A and B are shown apart, each in its own frame.
Chain A
Amino acid sequence: MCYVPLWCRSHFSFLHAAGSPEELVLRAAEYGLPAIALTDRASLSGVVRAHTATRAQHRAAAQPAGGQPGQPAIRLIVGAEIETTDGSSLALLARTREGYGQLCRLITTIRLRASKGQWEATAEDIAGHAEGLTALWTTGFADASSHTVGLLREAFGEHLFAAIARHRLPEERARERLIRAHALEHQITCAAAPQVLYPARENRPLYEILRCIDRGTTIHQIGNRVPPNAEYALRCGEEIARLYRDIPETLEQSLQIARECRFSLDDLVYRYPTERVPEGYTTGGWLRRVTLQGAQERYRGEVPTEVSQQLKKELALIEELDYCGYFLTMYEIVNFCRERGILCQGRGSAANSAVCFCLRITAIDPVRMGLLFERFLSRERAEPPDIDLDIEHNRREEVIQHLYQSYGRDRAAMVANVIRYRPKSAIREVGKALGLPATDLDRIARMVSHRSTALPEILRDAGLDPEAPLHRQLIELSREILDTPRHLSIHPGGFLLGSEPVIELVPVENAAMEARTVIQWDKYDVEALGLFKVDLLGLGALTHLTGAFALLKQHYGLDLSMARIPARDDAVFDMLCRGDTIGVFQIESRAQMSMLPRLRPREFYDLVIEISIVRPGPITGGMVHPYLRRRNGEEDVHYPHPDLVPVLRKTLGVPLFQEQVMKLAVIAADYTPGEADQLRRDMAAWRRSGAIEKHGETIISRMTSKGIEREFAQAVFDQIRGFGEYGFPESHAASFALIAWCTAWLRHHYPAVFACALLNAWPMGFYAPATIVEDAKRRGVTVLPVDTARSDWECTLEGGGAAIRMGLRYVKGLSIQAWEQIRRARSEMPGSLAAFVSAARLDERSLSALAESGALSAFGISRRQALWEVLGSTRRRDIGRGRESRRTLPTRPAMAGESKSTLQQPLDATANTVAPEFRPLDETELIRWNYRRTRHSADGHPMAPLRGHLRNRALPTACDVAAGIDGSTVSFVGLVICRQRPSTAGGTLFLTLEDETGFVNVIVWKSDFRRHRVTLLTQVVLGITGTLQRQDGVVHLILRSCWAPQIPGGAPAVASHDFH
């Protein structure tokens, strides 16, 4: 006797079950069960994974080991469990495609009427979506009213069943008697359906921990809110047969239900929405037309022959695979952006396509760059193209709303992002559920990185005994919970578009953000089913560029765009070779700055390499130094195998790009297209731990068998693993290199425009506003402070475009609503602070922020005076409204049209005393106030007032250090602006210190870091003594000792960019 488990939850029931859909399918297949139903709680989030797992089982069954026919493969029954507001619960199983559509609609309906993550369902809702569904009444049947039973009986007819669930609980017998009597009364058939909450008995602890997390309690307190035993695991046929031996007909009924549920996700017929094309055109014809038209524009009427041939080839394949609509959608979005002046650019593998280039989806000419179209689209892979579009980050919402309007909310929905447990969250939440002290957990979690595996050592470092029973459980369960879904979130920009309503395809639910809905599948599910996804991603660098182009037009009359920026400019390359790149997209980090003088880029492709080389992939694969040596002629270029020459020629025999490592796998490790595709997916799914590891032995053994040195094979695999963390394909790097070049060009030629636009696009990039401001000042730009009379919300240019006026957005504590009030008040030309306060009607917090930032200086009073005046102003305004006062406030000189009485309006209506005198701020205080309130100082660098003090102690400036002698001992004091400990650096800490003249890069080896940990991590202004190292024009200070300098008045409140 066999059975089919019809009531199974996976971890996609979000904290209500343990174990993945794949594990459930695998376990059921091991037990030889013919089918398994996945019925997560009002969710179909796990069905694609379960479906993929059954497909794998089918493939295995079709190719049995040893040529012997295996067991028939397991089938998936798609379903969901719906709990109603009256306490009932029904497992709904899709018999047909229509039933599946009804299930999607039902889940969408009940989810959209509730807040994120919740649903509200009634028996009427379920009855209204019964067509094509089988219902298994799992909970509450015995207590249900006749009305409800009648309603569902009528809706589902003979497809309504009462579940008999046995888990060896004493109270089950009485309940079962009631169920059977009730079923007999209403002529409802009973079916065996034990509930499955986890794949195996050993998963019970994890299940209970998840329940504790959900309930916000500990394992010691949860008591009988979890089942008493481990009988909720998936059980084999024999065990279930024993358990139900007195009612074998209910087991037979489960098999019968399974036989009737024939729906498979393979039955989903997905059609991409047809784009509106002009009359007389097919979508293919229209795509051809606009592509060729675009080519004429791109190549100014002279389309090269190879481009024409490439377009012909690409268009033929796109038409053959019926992807024309998708390209036209992207074309339409890009046109929308262009019409609205929104800067956008395709990234990723789309840059390999000449069609995308001609449609202006991407900005890189793939023919000129020699990029491979097959990386983007191929007949063999037969998977939909994936075009990611970068959009100015502050205008992305406009494009999203446009897409909703174009397709309607029923045909366009955002793809989900499954938030899963990572080492830090695992430690915190498992530990909390185990009842460990929060401070211990916090201490451990701070030591854990996202790739941490050595938990026992971390516990030991945190002063805890990893062998203690509770800590052993913490370690085991924290490992087990990894990758378990926590909740659904929204993918940064993925849209699923459908010709039919999306809610017939997948349920849609509310997201946390207002007016946002999200489908229950993530991008991997969408890819697995071969559906089309449009990615609209926000990119700050494009906002930066748009802002810069607008400023150039406004102040210099220049109408520039990315395409019009000169492609060659030696002066810009000289700047890059110096590593002078603060604010330049992608190449501004400390590591990139150090690499630039070594790589010495002199052409665009060098930038493509520069962007790709400072990545975990090439670094962990040990590819950086060989490439640099070969580039500088210090080492011969050689190839590990003659077959690999075409693959590695561009990068001097060293693999640097994602495509190259994939091709290596195909050519050198004889990967089949299918295996290579899986490798690409595993590399893409870089957050899913361990997915890459399974390729290791295969790649290395196959490469060595072809005569490639094991060392090289190991390095290639290390790099693949590195790419698993983060790596760039060549086309992607090329797209980013273009933005990098544009920003570098602007930085060199228009530093004020560059810095102003960058400050307006902030937060973005690597550096704090203070660093951007100081860099601009060093480049000769005048930076003017915030001023309520002159500043806008954004930073603006003054003095013919040579000076930056800081915007009020930089006043911490001031909201954009407050700015609107200031703008309105400013139009009334208030002559005094009192008049301004009265007109602007700001709260005390905003007024204090303005006073502290110096933005009220236009009224001719000191910051302290202004602060005294505005403190308590709201209270006084309310109390003293209408009262007269003899007191007068300082005013600015009267302007034309203003009367003296206007300027002498009282502010402190309740105080009859003369305002006290306050000591003016000295230089140090002034800078400190600036930093605290505006994150920068237009009045000077925090180190500048200390210079005399430091010079007396013979301490050099950063500029002096840069000119120092290799090997000399140098002491330096500076402001810490960046601390980094990259995982690829073996515990080394990289510090960047700044003073008014520039930067000093410090390297702290692991042993020194341990010795000086507290000083290095806590000091804002740090003193360093070290050995100066000069190599390839790059200067570092290797720390020998450090100290906390005595700063008169204390260190300024400056936030550094730590460990990003």
Chain B
Amino acid sequence: MVRPACLDIVRLPLQIVLNRNPEWKERPVAVVSEDAPLGAVLFTNRVAEQAGVQRGLRYAAALSICPALHGSVVGDTEIQNAIDSLVSLLQRFTPHVEECAFDPGALWLDAHGLEALYGSVSEWALTVRAAVRGQGYFSRICVGYSRFGSYAGAKRAVRGFQSSAEERRWVRGAPVSLLPLPTEVEQRLQQLGTTTVGEFCALPREGIRSRFGMQTDAVYRLATEPEVLPVQGADTPSALRAQMVLDSPLSSTTALLSAIEGLLLDLLSQTVATTQHMRRIELELDCEDGSCLREALQPATPSRDAAVWLRLLRLRFESVQTAAPVQRITVHVEAAAVNQPQSELFSTAPRRDRAAAARAFALLRARFGNNVVCRMVLQPEHRPDRRFVLMPLDQLQLPARIRPAGLHLVRRILDQPVELASRRGLRPAAGPFVVSGKWWEQEAERHYYYAWRGRQILWIYHDCDTNRWFIQGGVE
């Protein structure tokens, strides 16, 4: 026995935007497919609608109608995150929560048997809706006798039906526009004068499939299917978590390490039964004074080798100090399936052991922080001090072989230019070489020179704006 209910988070992407920007609530807002003139308006709030902005307009056209319109893009990840958090919430009210495959704002719930807990399914529905509201989302919920009936009811703000016969009757008269159909199919049906779900269901199925394709056929089946499929529960998250509440808060690093190692070993033992390795761990240390210290660790490659993890843990804790004694430790583990490449079994060891380097970098990161290992990346800039940046190193690349031709001088650049107090004793060697700077940022022109100071060649420049001289570096 199934008692399907459907929860419809009305215009979910728009609600996400409004939750992100609460100050926009009284202003015209639209969700657009892209922040560009040709982007399409996907959802609008009431203020925007009143200003004449309609769904389907180009963003530029919408702006010309309503210059004060706030447009925003909502990515798939953002929508999925919102749904994930709602699924977690809804699992408190029913074990069976299923995302609707064709409508990201709709969720199916199984209300069967819950009237005993809540008094009635209506009470249960109201509680669910209130909980969702508490999360910041406006929703509609309908408890029906079929999946499609509850979906259609939720879309039209019907709370429930007295009987399955009533539901069937109501569904047949419901407008076809609530069906999750592709826009062009919806338009075609309107052209054909098919305005209600009943009329849609009266069309021959073979004709539907051959004219409108498989997706429409699937909706047609859902709308006409006599049996009710059970609501599937959501997948259990694969991430692992362990927590320890300490009766007496710990302030000693050694004691802390010991406690964390215990938790970590427990978690490692859980992964042994699977093909997964631990890719990353996050530690949360809740202190007595209310503060919380968070640390993340990541080895060179995913591993379930306890020695590797314990070594990284110890290195990190050499430089970590907690503000107050720790009363709760939580360890989150991100696991990943790892397949040992078969080819590695036959490969000879390279002259440069990149794996060893990666291990060393992991140790450095554990000891000094995650951004400590960097590499130089050249930039297409003119000013010498901007021609490179330091970027965190993800993976070690073997250097390209360089064959210097002829005599090459090497310029060394100072971390910060040093002002030249006096030019006495300097003999010009070459210059000026002019770099005008970024005119759009009002940057000053610099005149670069090479100059002898005794046997040393200095790399200096004159800042034309301030009329001061600086040493940029030297030449070897």
Q: Does B192 contact A (CB under 8 A)?
A: yes
With A439-B60, A473-B440, A910-B206 known to touch, is A918 a contact of B192 (CB < 8 Å)? yes
Q: Does A165 contact B (CB under 8 A)?
A: no
With A168-B434, A442-B60, A871-B188 known to touch, is A918 a contact of B52 (CB < 8 Å)? no
Contacts of B434 in A (CB 8 A): 168-169, 228-231
Contacts of B381 in A (CB 8 A): 223-224
Contacts of A871 in B (CB 8 A): 188, 211-212
Q: Give the distance in Å from the alpha carbon of A228 to the alpha carbon of B438 in the complex.
A: 9
Q: Does A916 contact B (CB under 8 A)?
A: yes
Q: Does B439 contact A (CB under 8 A)?
A: yes
**Which parts of B181-218 form the interface with A (CB within 8 Å)?**
188, 191-194, 202-204, 206-207, 210-212
Q: Does B68 contact A (CB under 8 A)?
A: yes
Q: Is B60 within 8 A of A443, CB to CB?
A: yes
Of B35, B68, B211, the residue contacting A463 (CB under 8 A) is B68
Q: Is A918 within 8 A of B193, CB to CB?
A: yes
If over half of A's interface residues share one DSSP class (helix, strand or loop), that class is named, otherwise mixed; here it is helix
Q: Is B204 within 8 A of A446, CB to CB?
A: no
Q: Give the distance in Å from the alpha carbon of A437 to the alpha carbon of B39 in the complex.
A: 13
B52 to A, closest residue via Cβ: A1014
Q: Give the distance in Å from the alpha carbon of A446 to the alpha carbon of B67 in the complex.
A: 12
**Which parts of A425-449 form the interface with B (CB within 8 Å)?**
434, 437-439, 442-443, 446
Interface centre among A170, A443, A469, A911 (most CB of B within 10 A): A170
A477 to B, closest residue via Cβ: B440
Interface residues contributed by chain A, number (CB under 8 Å): 51
Q: Is B59 within 8 A of A439, CB to CB?
A: yes
Q: Is A470 within 8 A of B440, CB to CB?
A: yes
**A819-861 vs B: 1/0 string, CB under 8 Å?**
0000000000000000000000000000000001000000000
B210 to A, closest residue via Cβ: A872
Q: Does B432 contact A (CB under 8 A)?
A: yes
Q: Does A680 contact B (CB under 8 A)?
A: no
Contacts of B210 in A (CB 8 A): 872, 875-876, 879, 908, 910-911
A1018 to B, closest residue via Cβ: B52
Of A168, A219, A446, A867, the residue contacting B432 (CB under 8 A) is A168
Contacts of A1015 in B (CB 8 A): 52
A173 to B, closest residue via Cβ: B430
Interface centre among A222, A438, A462 (most CB of B within 10 A): A438
A870 to B, closest residue via Cβ: B211
Q: Does B63 contact A (CB under 8 A)?
A: yes
Q: Is B206 within 8 A of A913, CB to CB?
A: yes
Contacts of A231 in B (CB 8 A): 434
Q: Does B379 contact A (CB under 8 A)?
A: yes
Q: Does B160 contact A (CB under 8 A)?
A: no
Q: Is A439 within 8 A of B192, CB to CB?
A: no
With A911-B204, A911-B206 known to touch, is A867 a contact of B440 (CB < 8 Å)? no
Q: Does A395 contact B (CB under 8 A)?
A: no
**Which parts of B405-455 form the interface with A (CB within 8 Å)?**
430, 432-436, 438-440, 442, 445, 448
**Which parts of A197-243 form the interface with B (CB within 8 Å)?**
204-205, 208, 219, 222-225, 228-231
Nearest-neighbour CB distance to chain B for A179, whole angstroms, equals 17
Interface centre among B36, B64, B440 (most CB of A within 10 A): B440
Q: Does A115 contact B (CB under 8 A)?
A: no
Contacts of B396 in A (CB 8 A): none
With A439-B37, A443-B60 known to touch, is A230 a contact of B204 (CB < 8 Å)? no
Nearest-neighbour CB distance to chain B for A211, whole angstroms, equals 13
Of A434, A439, A910, the residue contacting B63 (CB under 8 A) is A439
Q: Does A672 contact B (CB under 8 A)?
A: no
Contacts of A867 in B (CB 8 A): 188, 191-192
Q: Is A864 within 8 A of B206, CB to CB?
A: no
Q: Is B35 within 8 A of A443, CB to CB?
A: no
With A443-B60, A908-B210 known to touch, is A225 a contact of B445 (CB < 8 Å)? no
Number of A-B pairs whose CB atoms are under 8 Å? 114
Q: Is B202 within 8 A of A916, CB to CB?
A: yes
Q: Does B132 contact A (CB under 8 A)?
A: no
Q: Does B87 contact A (CB under 8 A)?
A: no
Q: Is B380 within 8 A of A223, CB to CB?
A: yes
Q: Is A446 within 8 A of B193, CB to CB?
A: no
Q: Is A442 within 8 A of B380, CB to CB?
A: no
**Which parts of B224-242 form the interface with A (CB within 8 Å)?**
none
Q: Is A224 within 8 A of B37, CB to CB?
A: no
Q: Does A919 contact B (CB under 8 A)?
A: yes
Q: Give the distance in Å from the alpha carbon of A463 to the alpha carbon of B36 in the complex.
A: 17
Q: Give the distance in Å from the alpha carbon of A879 to the alpha carbon of B51 in the complex.
A: 49
Contacts of B207 in A (CB 8 A): 868, 908, 911, 913, 916
Q: Give the distance in Å from the alpha carbon of A1015 to the alpha carbon of B51 in the complex.
A: 9
B188 to A, closest residue via Cβ: A871
Q: Does B382 contact A (CB under 8 A)?
A: yes
Q: Is A1014 within 8 A of B435, CB to CB?
A: no
Contacts of B65 in A (CB 8 A): 1014, 1017-1018
Contacts of A204 in B (CB 8 A): 436, 439
Q: Is B192 within 8 A of A228, CB to CB?
A: no
With A462-B67, A864-B192, A1018-B65 known to touch, is A439 a contact of B430 (CB < 8 Å)? no
**Which parts of A19-34 form the interface with B (CB within 8 Å)?**
none
B448 to A, closest residue via Cβ: A170
Contacts of B13 in A (CB 8 A): none
B213 to A, closest residue via Cβ: A872
Q: Does B66 contact A (CB under 8 A)?
A: yes
Q: Does A308 contact B (CB under 8 A)?
A: no
Contacts of A256 in B (CB 8 A): none
Q: Does A85 contact B (CB under 8 A)?
A: no
Contacts of B382 in A (CB 8 A): 223-224, 228
Nearest-neighbour CB distance to chain A for B377, whole angstroms, equals 13
Q: Does B71 contact A (CB under 8 A)?
A: yes
Q: Give the distance in Å from the alpha carbon of A1017 to the alpha carbon of B382 in the complex.
A: 50
Q: Does A401 contact B (CB under 8 A)?
A: no
**Which parts of B277-301 form the interface with A (CB within 8 Å)?**
none
Q: Is B193 within 8 A of A1014, CB to CB?
A: no
Q: Give the distance in Å from the alpha carbon of A229 to the alpha carbon of B448 in the complex.
A: 12
**Which parts of A164-201 form the interface with B (CB within 8 Å)?**
168-170, 173
**Which parts of A128-143 form the interface with B (CB within 8 Å)?**
none
Q: Is A205 within 8 A of B445, CB to CB?
A: no
Q: Is A912 within 8 A of B206, CB to CB?
A: yes
Nearest-neighbour CB distance to chain B for A636, whole angstroms, equals 49
Interface centre among B60, B63, B191, B445 (most CB of A within 10 A): B191
Of A208, A434, A864, the residue contacting B193 (CB under 8 A) is A864
Nearest-neighbour CB distance to chain B for A34, whole angstroms, equals 27
B441 to A, closest residue via Cβ: A469
Contacts of A852 in B (CB 8 A): 191
Q: Is B439 within 8 A of A446, CB to CB?
A: no
Q: Give the distance in Å from the alpha carbon of A921 to the alpha carbon of B191 in the complex.
A: 9
Q: Is A438 within 8 A of B432, CB to CB?
A: no
A442 to B, closest residue via Cβ: B37
Contacts of B436 in A (CB 8 A): 204, 228-230
Q: Is B204 within 8 A of A913, CB to CB?
A: yes
Nearest-neighbour CB distance to chain B for A1043, whole angstroms, equals 13
**Which parts of B45-88 form the interface with A (CB within 8 Å)?**
51-52, 59-60, 63-68, 71
Q: Give the distance in Å from the alpha carbon of A553 to the alpha carbon of B247 in the complex.
A: 109
Q: Give the distance in Å from the alpha carbon of A437 to the alpha carbon of B71 in the complex.
A: 12
A435 to B, closest residue via Cβ: B440
Contacts of A470 in B (CB 8 A): 440
Q: Is B37 within 8 A of A229, CB to CB?
A: no
Which 5 pairs between the two chains have the least Cβ-Cβ distance? A223-B380, A228-B382, A442-B37, A872-B211, A229-B434
Q: Could you pull out 7 A-B pairs where Cβ atoms are within 8 angstroms?
A: A170-B448, A223-B381, A223-B382, A916-B202, A918-B193, A918-B194, A1017-B64
Q: A223-B379, A442-B63, A469-B440 are in contact. List 6 more A-B contacts (CB 8 A).
A: A170-B448, A443-B63, A910-B210, A918-B194, A919-B193, A1017-B64
A→B interface (CB under 8 Å): 168-170, 173, 204-205, 208, 219, 222-225, 228-231, 434, 437-439, 442-443, 446, 462-463, 469-470, 473, 852, 864, 867-868, 871-872, 875-876, 879, 908, 910-913, 916, 918-919, 921, 929, 1014-1015, 1017-1018
